[in-house]
Structure 1
Amino acid sequence: MYSILEDLNKTSLNIQASALISTDGLVIASALPKGMDEDTFGAVSAALNSVGTQSICELAGGALEHILIKSTQNYILMARAGKESILTVIVKSHDELENLLSNVKHAVDKMVLIA
């Protein structure tokens, strides 16, 4: 899994971090920069996934595919990676967002095949 994350991070200079997280917040694999806390990354990812899943179920219907959060400096992009895991990516800018979404989906597809 780590090599898939490393490959994903190499697809764009704008990717700062990526991790595969279980839906209960445990980090399965990560490619995070030094100083970024893995436990916090996992806990926040799980919390966002929970809120997103509940929102979709109660308001929009269907199944959650992606969550995208934009700040003044970065994006957090999350994608379902099987029934019990989430791929979370932090991206510096939005210039390559469509390409990144495609790369994230490709990484998720690889992870689902392995899991």
Structure 2
Amino acid sequence: MEECGVVKAGELREVLNSIRDEVPGIRALAVISYDGFVIESFMPSSVDEDLMAAMGSSVLSIAERMGLDLRLGNFELGIVAGSDGYLLLTRAGREAILMVLVNKEVKLGVALYSVKRAAVKVAKALEGVSVEELIASRWAEMA
């Protein structure tokens, strides 16, 4: 089981690397669980990845609820716009969320397109392994 988790984590790193290479202006990337735990990430030390994951999970939960209550349908993509950049969130399969922080100067259309494509790749990389197993493996590495 542990070897499978290591292989999947490697696949996730490759997906995150590819989107980072495709889109200039990416500041941080994370694949998180719906519970707000980091599964895999690339973040500068200035970003608290645990805080980002917890907040991202909360934002997605609220956005999903709003979409249903306002009859917009199922959540597909969220954009949080700030004066210095954007946070992009999308589902990545049934158990994960892809979050991307980008600079304000980024070509937003290119970033959105790349994020949607990457989310499909993340979902595929997560097939056949539990998110909980990957989170536990990540915590064990950090201990």
RMSD (Å) for aligned C-alpha atoms: 1.2
The answer for the alignment partner of 1:12 in structure 2 is 23
- Superposed, which structure 2 residues align to 1:36-51 within 5 Å? 36-51=47-62
Distance 2:83 2:94 in 1: 31
Runs of 4+ in 1 over 6 A off after TM superposition: none
The amino acid that maps onto 1:39 is D
Equivalent in 119, 122, 136 of residue 108 of structure 1? 119
What is the SS of the residue equivalent to 1:4? helix
State the TM-score, normalizing by the size of structure 2: 0.76
Stretch moving more, 14-23 or 29-38: 29-38
State the TM-score, normalizing by the size of structure 1: 0.93
Distance 1:32 1:95 in 2: 17
Structure 1 gap segments, 5+ residues each: none
What is the count of residue pairs matched by the alignment?
Answer: 115
What is the SS of the residue equivalent to 2:23? coil
How far 1:10 moved relative to its partner? 1.6
The answer for the alignment partner of 1:59 in structure 2 is 70
Q: Which of the pair is proportionally richer in helix?
A: 2
Would the aligned equivalents of 1:75 and 1:94 in 2 still touch at CA under 8 Å?
Answer: no
Equivalent in 9, 31, 41 of residue 30 of structure 1? 41
How far 1:95 moved relative to its partner? 4.3
Structure 2 gap segments, 5+ residues each: 1-11, 127-143
Distance 2:39 2:46 in 1: 18
What is the SS of the residue equivalent to 1:91? strand
Task: Tell me: CA distance 1:82–1:93, structure 2 relative to 1, closer, same or farther (3 Å).
Answer: same
What is the SS of the residue equivalent to 2:70? helix
Task: Tell me: CA distance 1:27–1:95, structure 2 relative to 1, closer, same or farther (3 Å).
Answer: closer
What is the SS of the residue equivalent to 1:100? helix
